[in-house]
Chain A
């Protein structure tokens, strides 16, 4: 209990991943949906860093760096698209984007 091992971190990462999944499934506002995806990416980063520490390997940290880079670019492009959609339609609800017509 007092000795923190790899399993503690993996369980924590899984709990956070489940919270993010609940957020993705119940959110209707697209901005808050983006928040939930950030939670998903961060929970995976914890698992990568923990495995990197307990196996004495740098690969996990490298993957965490690339995940952070991808998350940053995802936010930039996603918010740009969201701003365009909001200027056109006046809302960012997920239900209003059910059709593919521009």
Chain B
């Protein structure tokens, strides 16, 4: 009963927030609506008994990702209205419905065809966080390490691309400027 009420309430709120995100012409409205939608999505994870995933959702999305977006928006001119693509509305809506139906088929096909047995069944008598930890650090250890390396690469590339000394960065300079800089360096070394 309460689960149904919570599900429908948060489903309505999430859909409304994400609808605002994709339709508004103000970038700040889109940002705040997206952040609130992320928090409402974490409510589904709590309803489903995945408490650790819900906490991660709040911390990573509305903490880290939204802060990063807000930081990035300071660089862009967000006060003016966003111009929209003048496309054919029929084509866009038709493609969206087609893709959504395709997604349903993708999800429904394995369930209809055969009985799915749990590969790593949810452990009895332990909490969600403990069970997630046991599976993550035994069966999924290699993907975990690979994800850590990927996050390191993303961090370094973020620092290199958006670092403070942008005027000296190789990504912003033309080839001639890079050649001049290298010539200067060799001159300094020789002299």
User: Are A58 and B41 touching (Cβ within 8 A)?
Assistant: no
Partner of B19, one of A11, A19, A35: A19
Which of chain B's residues 13-42 have a Cβ closer than 8 Å to chain A?
14-15, 18-19, 21-22, 27, 30-31, 34, 37-38, 41
Which bracket fits the contact residues of B?
35 or more
B165 nearest CB across to chain A (Å): 13
> B31 contacts which chain A residues (CB < 8 A)?
35
Bound Cα distance from A34 to B55, whole angstroms = 23
State whether the Cβ of B178 lies closer than 8 Å to any Cβ in chain A: no
State whether the Cβ of A97 lies closer than 8 Å to any Cβ in chain B: no
Partner of A87, one of B30, B121, B135, B166: B166
Which of chain A's residues 2-24 have a Cβ closer than 8 Å to chain B?
2-4, 8-23
Bound Cα distance from A42 to B52, whole angstroms = 16
User: Are B22 and A49 touching (Cβ within 8 A)?
Assistant: no
User: Are B68 and A79 touching (Cβ within 8 A)?
Assistant: yes
Bound Cα distance from A74 to B31, whole angstroms = 17
User: Are B34 and A49 touching (Cβ within 8 A)?
Assistant: no
Bound Cα distance from A84 to B119, whole angstroms = 45
Which of chain A's residues 55-96 have a Cβ closer than 8 Å to chain B?
55-59, 61-62, 64-66, 68-77, 79-84, 86-88, 92-94
Which of chain B's residues 72-126 have a Cβ closer than 8 Å to chain A?
72-73, 75-76, 78, 82-85, 87, 92-93, 95-97, 99-100, 103-104, 107-108, 116, 118-122
User: Are B161 and A59 touching (Cβ within 8 A)?
Assistant: no
User: Are A22 and B157 touching (Cβ within 8 A)?
Assistant: no
Bound Cα distance from A14 to B96, whole angstroms = 11
User: Are B34 and A35 touching (Cβ within 8 A)?
Assistant: yes
8 A-B pairs closest in CB distance: A80-B161, A23-B22, A73-B154, A57-B118, A18-B100, A76-B158, A53-B48, A79-B72
Chain B residues at the A interface, C-beta cutoff of 8 Å = 1, 3-4, 7, 11, 14-15, 18-19, 21-22, 27, 30-31, 34, 37-38, 41, 44-45, 48-50, 52-53, 56-57, 60-61, 64-65, 68-69, 71-73, 75-76, 78, 82-85, 87, 92-93, 95-97, 99-100, 103-104, 107-108, 116, 118-122, 131-132, 135-136, 140, 143, 147, 150-151, 153-155, 157-158, 160-162, 166, 171-172
Chain A residues at the B interface, C-beta cutoff of 8 Å = 1-4, 8-23, 25-29, 31-32, 34-36, 38-39, 42, 45-47, 49-50, 52-53, 55-59, 61-62, 64-66, 68-77, 79-84, 86-88, 92-94
